[in-house]
Amino acid sequence: MVGQRFRAAAQGGVGHEHCAGVLLWAAAMSVSPHPTSQDPAPRSIVTDPRRRPIGVFDSGVGGLTVLHELLVALPSEDFLYLGDTARFPYGEREQQELECFAIQMAEELLRRRAKLLVVACNAATAAALPALRRRMLETTLGVDVVGVVRPEALRAVAATRTGRIGVLATPTTIASGAYEEAVRAVDAHVTVHCVACPGLAAVIQDGREFDEDTVAIMREVCAPLREAHVDVVVLGCTHYPLIGKMLQRMLGPDVTLVSSGAALARQVEHALSTRGLLNPSDQEGDYRFLCTGDAAAFAAIGTRFLQMPLGPVEHVGVAQLDVTGGSPTTGLRAHS
Helix (H, G, I), strand (E, B) or coil at 195: strand
β strands within 170-245, DSSP E: 191-196, 232-236
Residue from 19, 100, 121, 197 carrying the catalytic annotation = 121
Q: Is 237 annotated as catalytic?
A: yes
CA distance linking residue 203 with residue 208, whole number of Å = 8
Give the list of residues 6+ apart from residue 205 with CB closer than 8 angstroms, or none.
13, 14, 15, 16, 17, 18, 60, 61, 62, 88, 239, 301
CA Rg, the chain, in Å? 19
Taking Cα atoms as reference points, which of 136, 101, 122 lies closest to residue 23? 136
The 10 Å Cβ neighbour count of residue 280 is: 8
At residue 226, what is the residue type? Answer: R
Residue from 100, 194, 222, 237 carrying the catalytic annotation = 237
Active-site residues, by number, are: 121, 237
